Amino acid sequence: MSAVIVTGTDTEIGKTVFSAALTGALGASYWKPVQAGTDDEGHGDAETVARLSGRPVLPSAYRLKTPCSPHRAAEIDGVEIDRDRLALPQVDGPLVAEGAGGVLVPVTRRLLFADLFAHWGRPVVLVARTGLGTINHSLLSIEALRSRGVPMLGVAFVGDAVEDSEATIAAIGGVKRLGRLPRLADLTAKTLAEAFAANFAVEDFR
């Protein structure tokens, strides 16, 4: 099984939308190991990916009520997160797995997402904004992943083009710029698939 891990420089930057595009382009299945917080309809990232990709989504290992860091959401819900349940699921075909928040977000008080990624040993895509502050956030994230020996496919940007920031992150971080997903005014499965095809090379993710 081939798996691609999607992480990001922060929460709410577009990891799920990018994951949906990638899941669709690869004909993959999607997995969010820990979902902390859902919307008014009880929907989390998996439901968004199902809607925007039309691909199968696997049930999360943990679905927690409170919209905060998983380690704290689990404590509030009275749930103990067992890392044995966070093994990558076996599926036919490729798998796209999305972490919560950024790379140093605690899964538990003893386990950070970056450590879980290192344990999985599968290549990671870092999703980053293009706006002000992204050079610092991106380079910090790259350093944290590299220091743990996490293999990186590169950076996928989300937002308006900021050529110098994108090139600077790739050069100083020593990573590939995989492409940039523009903000789509009308976000549907169709517009997203078209935007991914126009701005990324799917072979970079295989």
Ligand X SMILES: Nc1ncnc2c1ncn2[C@@H]1O[C@H](COP(=O)(O)OP(=O)(O)OP(=O)(O)O)[C@@H](O)[C@H]1O
d(CA 2, CA 92): 9
With respect to ligand X, which residue has the nearer C-beta, 52 or 152? 52
Site string for ligand X, 12-41 (x = CB under 6 A): xxxxxx------------------------
69 binds Mg ion (CB under 5 A): no
3-class state of residue 105 by DSSP: coil
The least CB distance from residue 191 to Mg ion, in Å, is: 19
The least CB distance from residue 188 to Mg ion, in Å, is: 18
70 binds ligand X (CB under 6 A): no
Which two three-digit tokens encode residue 138? Answer: 């991106």
The least CB distance from residue 22 to ligand X, in Å, is: 12
Q: How many residues does the chain have?
A: 206
Question: Closest by alpha carbon to 157, among 175, 142, 178, 174?
Answer: 178
> Is 160 flagged in the annotation as binding?
no
With respect to Mg ion, which residue has the nearer C-beta, 8 or 170? 8
Strand segments (E) across 92-176? 95-98, 106-108, 111-112, 124-129, 152-158
Q: How far is CA 138 from the centre of its chain?
A: 14
Are 45 and 51 contacting, i.e. CB atoms less than 8 angstroms apart? no
> Is 182 flagged in the annotation as binding?
yes
173 binds ligand X (CB under 6 A): no
Footprint of ligand X (CB under 6 A): 8, 11-17, 45, 100-101, 158, 181, 183-184, 187
